[in-house]
Amino acid sequence: MNWDPGYEIQPDIKPLFVIDRNELDGYYYQEQAGYVNYQGQMLDDRLTVLAGVRREMHRDSGQYLTDNFPWVSPPPSAYYDTTTYLPSYYGYDPAYSADFGGNHSRIAGTAWMVGLSYQVKKDINVYISTSKIYNRNGATNAGGFSPLSPPQWFAAAKAYLGSLPGGNAANPFIYRGATLTSTADLVNALHDSGADVLIKPETGRNTEIGVKTSLWDDKLVGTLSVFHMFRVNRRVDDATANNNEPLDFANNYQYFGAPGAFVNPTGFNFSGARLLRWRTVGQKDVVEGADFEVTWTPIKNFQTVVNGAWLWTAHTVNAPTVNKPGSAAYLAYNLSTVAGNNAKVASDIYYGARLENVPEFRLNSFSKYTITDGLFHGLSLALGTRYSSKMVLSRDVTWNPLGGGFQSGNYFVFDANVAYPWELMGYKLTSTISVQNLTDKLYFEGGVVASPGRQVFITNKLTF
């Protein structure tokens, strides 16, 4: 058993934020983490057991937007008392600074791993491992709003509706079927819609089984494995929810009037704005495949390394924002309308295409030969190759990878390297010429921007 305790201390950021900027737009947060690892040998050291667990915590304690002296400077908690510290005078946005859900929160999670490696015979080992993933999605509620915003929205809506013929009596504030007569009613309505629920963290699992070999006095060293991994609760924007939200975009004209038609007493122009930014979790993505790496050293001055992967599965199993083909919602699309056809195509693409930036095949190699005798003793020659199959850039309808839309990847390029050691006045130097993309191929390694063409680098290394 190995015991290796340790800790890290993050420096206090407040002194830096006091001197660096006029407007100190900084979040004050704390990170804590602890872990325990175990490694043990059993069965005459043929079986190795690995295990570990990690617990981490993130705490936010406010958005410290303040001014440097000699300007007026409210305390970081000014947004708790907007009467004493008027936002218009002190120059801060209480709704932005006081996101209690986001800026005053504690989020914690646990990750763990377990692995076994067994020596079947000399130089051949099999192994299996599994691990749980934890990734904090950020302290944001599903609606993406600050608790200080509803009072402003309610006041602005009541002011506009009250200016219409008949006043508030004839023009009540109705949100999602509920008649609102107070800020508390609006807060309750947002709660009922799920807008104030904190976004869950992203989790997942990685499982791998493989074999490692070291044969013929380490002349051939290799690894082959198959794996299964999935991720759930990746945070995504819910475009449908945003477009249907009564408080967003043109939908909120009913509460605040058309742009420029009315100036509300809060001093904020909510008309046409996106007041709620709906996000959702629950999406599950799965990747399955096999990868390998082989290092071959037949003679001491020549070596080849080859690695590659075949990812036969890379798709979304479930996406809350996109109806799954075959589901009741999918079958209910009205294909006699443009909207229905577009929605069907969007679903077909999202579930039928591969995940973005995950090619099905990868293959890389690097070979190096060093001359050991004669005039060019020490000269090394190297050649590398890089191959990738197509990669989906976007599963959006406009990119449609199932209908011939543009994809990156699909390239096979070469890299070369020549190095030669020499001496000058007793000093040892090594000059190297490296050429990337040797054939000057036009290719897209990722994204819509072409990867660099042929590049030549000349370096000289001096050894004392």
How is the chain split among helix, strand and coil, in percent rounded to 5? 20, 45, 40
The whole-angstrom separation of Cα 46 and Cα 272 is: 68
Q: Buried (b) or exposed (e) across 148-173, using 16+ Cβ within 10 A?
A: bbbbbbbebbbbbbeeeeeeeeebeb
What percent of the chain is modeled with pLDDT above 90? 68
Summarised one tens digit per residue, pLDDT across range 166-221 is 999 999 999 999 999 999 999 999 999 999 988 889 999 999 999 999 999 999 99
Q: Is residue 262 part of a domain?
A: yes
* Other residues' Cβ atoms within 10 Å of the Cβ of residue 420: 16
By percentage, how much of the chain surpasses pLDDT 70?
85
Q: Which residues pair with 206 in a beta bridge?
A: 131, 229
Q: Write out the two tokens for 331.
A: 């079958």
**Chain-centre distance for alpha carbon 390:** 21
160, 173 Cβ separation under 8 angstroms: no
Structure tokens at 142: 């599903």
Q: Say how far apart CA 292 and CA 288 lie, in whole Å.
A: 14
The burial class, CB within 10 Å (0-12 / 13-18 / 19+), for 42 is exposed
Torsion on CA atoms 151, 139, 201, 141, rounded to nearest 10: 10
Q: What is the mean pLDDT of residues 143-155?
A: 87
pLDDT at 28: 65
Is 163 contained in some domain? Answer: yes
Task: Tell me, yes or no, whether 373 lies in a domain.
Answer: no
**329 phi/psi in degrees, rounded to 5:** -65, -40
Average pLDDT over residues 423-429: 89
- Using pLDDT thresholds of 50, 70 and 90, give the confidence band for residue 20: very low
The pLDDT of residue 43: 95
pLDDT at residue 358, as a whole number: 96
Residue 134 in domain: no
Print the domain residue range for 249. 146-194+239-277
Is 254 within a domain? Answer: yes
Q: What is the pLDDT of residue 22?
A: 46
CA nearest neighbour of 152 among 243, 272, 275: 275
Tens digits of residue pLDDT in 286-299: 999 999 999 999 99
Give pLDDT tens digits for 35-76.
999 999 999 999 999 999 999 988 776 665 555 454 566 676
Going from the C-alpha of 417 to that of each of 234, 333, 376, the distances in angstroms are 41, 57, 15
Question: Would you give the end-to-end CA distance of the chain in angstroms?
Answer: 42
Question: How far apart are alpha carbons 288 and 286 in whole angstroms?
Answer: 7
C-alpha torsion sign, points 230, 233, 236, 241: positive
Assign 21 a pLDDT band (cuts: 50, 70, 90).
Answer: very low
The more confidently predicted of residues 245 and 20 is: 245
Question: What is the DSSP code (8-state) at residue 248?
Answer: B
The CA-atom distances, in angstroms, between 217 and each of 122, 211, 366 are 11, 18, 21
Band (pLDDT 50/70/90 cuts) for residue 24 is very low
**Rg of the chain on CA atoms, in Å:** 30
Q: Pick the range with the lowest mean pLDDT from 20-29, 60-69, 273-282.
A: 20-29
Determine the pLDDT at residue 437.
97
What single letter denotes the amino acid at residue 126? V
Rounded to whole angstroms, the Cα distance separating 405 from 416 reads 33
Query: Do residues 233 and 202 touch, judged by C-beta distance below 8 A?
Result: yes
Rounded Cα gap, residues 59 and 208, in angstroms = 33
DSSP code at position 437:
S
Q: How many domains in the chain?
A: 1
Which pLDDT score, from 0 to 100, does residue 374 have? 87
Average pLDDT over residues 81-104: 67
CA angle 129-135-138, nearest 5°? 175
Query: Any residues with CB less than 8 A from the CB of 454 and at least 6 apart, and which?
Result: 435, 436, 437, 438, 439, 440
What region, left, alpha or beta, does residue 45 occupy, with left being phi > 0 and alpha being psi -120 to 50 degrees? left
> For 124, phi and psi rounded to 5 degrees?
-130, 120
- Residue 30, pLDDT score: 78
Binned at pLDDT 50, 70 and 90, residue 3 comes out as: low
> 285 lies in a domain?
no
Say if strands 380-391 and 408-424 run parallel, antiparallel, or are unpaired. Answer: antiparallel
Q: Quick check: is 152 in a domain?
A: yes
Determine the average pLDDT of the residues in 87-110.
Answer: 69
Residue 456 lies in a domain: no
Residues 419, 459 contacting (CB under 8 angstroms)? no
Specify burial of residue 395 (Cβ count, 10 A radius: 0-12, 13-18, 19+).
buried
What tokens were used for 128?
Answer: 């299996």
Give pairs for 97-101: CB < 8 Å, separation 24+: 97/62, 97/63, 97/65, 98/63, 98/146, 98/147, 98/148, 99/63, 99/145, 99/146, 99/147, 100/146, 100/147, 100/148, 101/139, 101/140, 101/141, 101/146, 101/147, 101/196, 101/198
pLDDT digits (tens, 9 = 90+) for 219-262: 999 999 999 999 999 888 898 899 999 999 999 999 999 887 66
Whose CA is closest to 141, among 84, 200, 182?
A: 200
